[in-house]
Amino acid sequence: MGAGHAHKLYRHGHSPVHRLPPHCKLAAVFGFVLVVVSTPREAVWAFGLYAALLAAVAAAARIPVGFLLKRLVIEVPFVAFALLMPFVVPGEQTTLLGVSVSVPGLWGAWNVLAKATLGVAASVLLASTTELRAVLLGLQRLKLPPLLVQIASFMIRYGDVITDEMRRMSIARRSRGFEARGVRQWGVLATSMGALFIRSYERGERVHLAMVSRGYAGTMPVIDEATADRTQWAYAATLPVLALAICLLGWTL
Amino acid sequence: MHVPDGFIDAPVSVAAGVLAAGAVAVSLRGARRELDERTAPLAGLVAAFIFAVQMLNFPVAAGTSGHLMGGALAAILVGPYTAVLCLSVVLLMQGIFFADGGLTALGVNITVMGVVTVVVAYGLFRLLTGLLPRTRRSATASAFVAALVSVPASAAVFTLLYWIGGTTDIPIGKVFTAMVGVHVLIGIGEAVITALTVGAVLAVRPDLVHGVQGLAAPLKLRVDGELVDAPAATREPEPAAAPARSTRGFWITGLVSAFLLAGFVSFYASANPDGLERVAADQGIDEKVEEHGAADSPLADYGVGDIANARLSGGLAGVIGVSGTVVVGTGIFWAVRRRKEESTEASRDHENV
C-alpha cells in the first residue's frame, strides 16, 4: 500500500466543513438532495439559489471550483440523454435556434439536468470533505444495519487490493501477447474474471480465519464513536433548512 | 443505468427506497443464514470483486466496449441474499463517493439493479438447473439464459417506476420499447460473459458456485496405482428431487403459454424506437492503457457511453417483459422453498450435534 490511505476523491483540509461529524454531513446532504428533487421545475430561480448554497459550502470547505467541475464529468451520459428529451417528447412545439423542439421536453430536460447536477455536486462535496472511514462511522451512527456497514468497510478496505489483482492479471495477459480486440477475446477475459472471483472469495475466507483467530465473534468492536453536539447539528442543518425554505417559496410563488 | 436525481419524482423515490430497505433487511437475515458469521468478510470481498468487475472492459467492436453489471453473476456465484447485499453496498458506495447514481434515487437503483436482476437471474437459474440434467454444461447454459433475461427484466421494472413517477411525460410505450430493446442487446453481452465466467469457476472450484451443488467430481483415491472411489462424504442426498419432478410439466406449460401470450398480445403494442436508446449510456468508454495515472480511480472508467442503436419489435419486447414477471414470481417461490429446505436441514444438523 504505497499510495496514501485516503481515497482519491478526498481532499485533505481543515475547514469547518471537514470538521463536521460525518453523520451530520450525511444527513444534511440527503436532506438537501431530497428537497431539491421535490422542488417544482418551473421555479428556475430556486435552482440558482441551491447552486449558490452549494457554492457557499464549497467556499467554506475551500474546495477549488476546478476540482468540483472535474468531478461533475460523471454526469455526462445523462446530459446526453437530457439533450434528447426536447426532440422525443410530444407536445406543444416551439422553435429554438431554428430547430423545432417541444416545450414539455425542454422542461423535462431542464428538470433532469438541474436536479442531477445539484445532486452530483452535493455528493462530490460530501466525498471530498469526508474520509472513507468517517463516512462508514457516520452511516453506522445513522442506524444503518451494522452488518451492512461491515460489508461496506470490507469492500472499501479490499477494493484496491482486488482492483490491483485485476490489474496484475491484465499485465500478465498482455505480457504474454494477449490483446483484447473484440468479442472473440471474451473467453480469456471471462476466465480471468472467474479466477479473480475465486481469489477474492478465498481471500475472504482467509480474512475471516485471521479475524476468528483474533477473537472475532460476529461483531466488530467499536473503537471510536462519532458524536455530535447540538451546535454541530445546527451548523450542518443550515444547508437543508435553507434549501427547504427555498423549496417552500418555490411552491407558493 | 445508474439513475440520477430528478429522474423519478420524490414520492416514488421514497417508496422505492422503502422497498429496497425491505429487500436488504430480508437479505441480511438470509445471508446470515447462508454464511453465518463469515458474512461480513466474504460479502465484503465479493462486493469488492463486483466493484472491480464493473471496471473491466469488454471490447465489442470498433473501439466501443462495455462492462458487466454483475447482478446475475453475483446471484449465481454467491446466492441471492449475499448478492443483493453486495450489489446494494456497491451502489451505496458509488452513490456516496463517486456521485454515480443520485442519492435520492438510491432506492430505485437498488431495486432495479440489485433486487430485480438478482431475483430474476437466480430464480430462472434454479428453475433451469432443476429442469435440465445436472451437468456442468447445462449449468453454464442456465447461467446464460438467467443473465440474458435479468437485464431486460430490470429495464422493464425501471420502465414501470418511470411510468408511475417519471418527471417527464414521454409516452410509456416508447420508453418501454427503447429500454427493453437496448437492454436485450446489453443482456446478450452480459449473458455471454456471465456464462463464460460461471463456466470458468465451475471448472476450477465447482463448490464455490452457490446456484449448483453436487457438480464437483467425486473424490478418487489412488490405491496401489488404481483409482478407487473415496468413502462417500457424510452429506445426505437432497430430498427435493421428487416434488420438483411433479411440477415440471406445470412449469413448462406455464412458461410456454406466457411466452405465446406475450408475443401475441404485443403485436398490438406500439413499437416506435426513438432516441431514448441513449438510456444505455452507462457503458464505460474504453481506456486503452490501464496503468495510466487516472486509471487508479474507479472514476476513470466512467465516461460518455457509446450509443447502442436498437430497433426491436414489440413482440420480442413483450415476451421478455412478461417472462421477466413470471420469473420474479418463480424467484420468490424458489427463495421460499429454499428457506424451508434449509430450515429443515438446519434442524436436522442440530439433532445430529
Q: What is the 3-state secondary structure (H, E, C) of chain A?
A: CCCCCCCCCCCCCCCHHHHCCHHHHHHHHHHHHHHHHCCCCCCHHHHHHHHHHHHHHHHHCCCCHHHHHHHHHHHHHHHHHHHHHHHHCCCCEEEECCEEEEHHHHHHHHHHHHHHHHHHHHHHHHHHHCCHHHHHHHHHHCCCCHHHHHHHHHHHHHHHHHHHHHHHHHHHHHHCCCCCCCHHHHHHHHHHHHHHHHHHHHHHHHHHHHHHHCCCCCCCCCCCCCCCCHHHHHHHHHHHHHHHHHHHHHHHC
Flag whether pLDDT at B261 surpasses 70: no
Percent residues over pLDDT 70 in chain B: 61
Coil, helix or strand for B3?
coil
Contact B24, B115 (CB under 8 A): no
Structure confidence by residue, pLDDT tens digits, B270-303: 333 333 333 333 333 333 333 344 444 433 333 3
Closest C-alpha to A192, from A215, A211, A176: A176
ipTM: 0.86
Flag whether pLDDT at B11 surpasses 60: yes
Exposure b/e, B224-233, CB count within 10 A at least 16 = b: eeeeeeeeee
A81, A158, A191 ranked by CB distance to B44: nearest = A158
Closest C-alpha to B52, from A159, A94, A186: A159
Name the strand (E) or helix (H) holding B65.
strand B64-66
What's the whole-number average pLDDT of chain B? 71
- Segment among A97-111, A168-182, B90-104, B177-191 with least mean pLDDT: A97-111
Percent residues over pLDDT 90 in chain A: 8
- B44: cell is 465484503
| Residues contacting residue B255 through CB under 8 Å, at least 6 positions apart | B323, B326
pLDDT band at A8; cut points 50, 70, 90: low
Looking at residue A237, what is its pLDDT?
81
What is the rounded average pLDDT of the residues A219-229? 72
Flag whether pLDDT at A16 surpasses 70: yes
d(CA B124, CA B239): 21
- Chain center to CA of A91: 35
- Segment among B87-96, B209-218, B252-261 with least mean pLDDT: B252-261
- Segment among A202-216, B105-119, B316-330 with least mean pLDDT: B316-330
| Residues contacting residue A42 through CB under 8 Å, at least 6 positions apart | A107
pLDDT band at B119; cut points 50, 70, 90: very high
What residues does B8 pair with on adjacent strands? B166
Looking at residue B325, what is its pLDDT?
57
Flag whether pLDDT at B250 surpasses 70: no
Nearest CA in chain A to B297: A8
d(CA B97, CA A152): 12
What is the rounded average pLDDT of the residues A19-42? 86
d(CA B119, CA B324): 10
Domain architecture of chain B: domains with CATH: 10-215+244-352 (1.10.1760.20)
What is the rounded average pLDDT of the residues B238-260? 51
Q: What is the pTM of this model?
A: 0.74
pLDDT band at B338; cut points 50, 70, 90: low
Structure confidence by residue, pLDDT tens digits, A147-161: 888 888 888 888 889
Contact B320, B152 (CB under 8 A): yes
d(CA B62, CA B291): 22
Coil, helix or strand for B9?
coil
pLDDT band at B122; cut points 50, 70, 90: very high
What residues does A93 pair with on adjacent strands? A102
DSSP at B37: G
What is the rounded average pLDDT of the residues B322-336? 56
Looking at residue A246, what is its pLDDT?
83
Q: What is the DSSP string of B208-272?
A: G-TT--S-SPPPEEEETTEEEEPPPPSPPPPTTHHHHHHTHHHHHHHHHHHHHHHHHHGGGS---
Å between A229 CA and nearest CA of chain B = 24
Interface of A with B in 87-126 (CB under 8 A): 87-91, 104-105, 107-109, 111-112, 114-116, 118-120, 122-124, 126
What is the rounded average pLDDT of the residues A176-203? 87
Higher pLDDT, B211 or B76: B76
Domain ranges of chain A: 16-130+227-252, 145-213
Q: Does B18 touch chain A (CB under 8 A)?
A: no
d(CA B48, CA A199): 12
Structure confidence by residue, pLDDT tens digits, B298-317: 333 333 333 333 333 444 55
What is the rounded average pLDDT of the residues B333-337? 57
Looking at residue B273, what is its pLDDT?
33
Q: How many CB atoms lie within 10 A of CB B265?
A: 14
Q: How many CB atoms lie within 10 A of CB A4?
A: 9
d(CA A142, CA A128): 20
Q: Does A220 touch chain B (CB under 8 A)?
A: yes
Closest C-alpha to B118, from B13, B220, B27: B27
Q: Does A136 touch chain B (CB under 8 A)?
A: no
pLDDT band at B258; cut points 50, 70, 90: low
Contact across the interface for A193 and B200, Cβ inside 8 Å: yes
Nearest CA in chain A to B295: A167
- Segment among A70-79, A126-135, A184-193, B212-221 with least mean pLDDT: B212-221
Q: Does B58 touch chain A (CB under 8 A)?
A: yes
Flag whether pLDDT at B113 surpasses 60: yes
Flag whether pLDDT at B253 surpasses 80: no
Q: What is the DSSP string of B271-305?
A: ----GGGGGGTTSPPP-S-TTSGGGGSGGGG--PP
Looking at residue B216, what is its pLDDT?
63
d(CA A27, CA A139): 9
pLDDT band at B202; cut points 50, 70, 90: confident
- Segment among A139-148, A243-252, B63-72 with least mean pLDDT: B63-72
Q: What is the DSSP string of B130-182?
A: HHS-SSHHHHHHHHHHHHHHHHHHHHHHHHHHHHHHBSS---HHHHHHHHHHH
Give the largest CA-CA distance in chain B.
Answer: 77
Nearest CA in chain A to B305: A77
pLDDT band at A175; cut points 50, 70, 90: very high
What is the rounded average pLDDT of the residues A77-103? 71
Structure confidence by residue, pLDDT tens digits, B82-106: 899 999 999 988 888 877 777 888 8
Looking at residue B240, what is its pLDDT?
45
Looking at residue B282, what is its pLDDT?
36
Give the mutation candidate from B5, B28, B67, B176 for the A interface (greatest A CB count, under 10 A).
B5
pLDDT band at B2; cut points 50, 70, 90: confident
- Segment among A237-241, B14-18, B69-73, B253-257 with least mean pLDDT: B253-257
Looking at residue B163, what is its pLDDT?
85
Looking at residue A98, what is its pLDDT?
64
Interface of A with B in 221-250 (CB under 8 A): none
- Segment among A107-111, A216-220, A248-252 with least mean pLDDT: A216-220
d(CA A20, CA A236): 7
| Residues contacting residue A165 through CB under 8 Å, at least 6 positions apart | A196, A199, A200, B52
Flag whether pLDDT at A68 surpasses 50: yes
What residues does B227 pair with on adjacent strands? B222
What's the whole-number average pLDDT of chain A? 81
Handedness of CA B330, B333, B335, B341 (dihedral sign): negative
Flag whether pLDDT at A100 surpasses 80: no
Rg (CA), chain B: 21
